Amino acid sequence: MIHRQPLRVGWARYYRLWVDHQLVRLREETRPGWSALAAAASEVVWVGRLTAGAAALRAVRMRPGPWTDGKLFVLLCVVALGSLAVAGLLGFALSRWVASDAGDVLPAAGGAVAVGGVLSVLVFLVFASVDGDRAGADRARGRR
């Protein structure tokens, strides 16, 4: 007759083995629910991919037209209000930064990112407004 001695393990290893056993038991009990959840998640991913593909296709086919004066004025007002908000936020952040410790550079870095983003948008608005047909015709005639 073979007598088996119990394993002599420390308390930390014992509790890790106990937690592992409980997790395996819990996983086996909840497995049917997880398969339904995984199927639903795969459907959501599929719908997301279809939506992203359709949005990309619409963006490629999009042909922008000239804006009316009203739309341009509204855009100018939105850009002006956004610029005022960014300037106020930067002024407040920089005033706090000047009053803070010497090693605190997060507000200044955030301000630099915000100013860079606003300048990028403004550069895009300026250079994207050139009509491609007119620009090519003017270059063919030698005008700039």
Q: What is the pLDDT of residues 83-128, one digit of tens each?
A: 888 888 877 877 777 776 666 667 667 777 888 888 888 888 777 7
Of 19 and 111, more confident:
19
pLDDT band at 78; cut points 50, 70, 90: very high
User: Crossing angle, helix 106-127 and helix 69-98, to 10 degrees?
Assistant: 160
Q: Are 80 and 74 in contact (CB under 8 A)?
A: no
Res 100: pLDDT: 67
Higher pLDDT, 80 or 35: 80
- pTM exceeds 0.85 for this model: no
- Residue with more model confidence, 139 or 34: 34
Q: In this predicted structure, what is the pLDDT of residue 46?
A: 92
Residue 21 identity (one-letter amino acid)? H
Q: Which two tokens stand for residue 41?
A: 């998640």
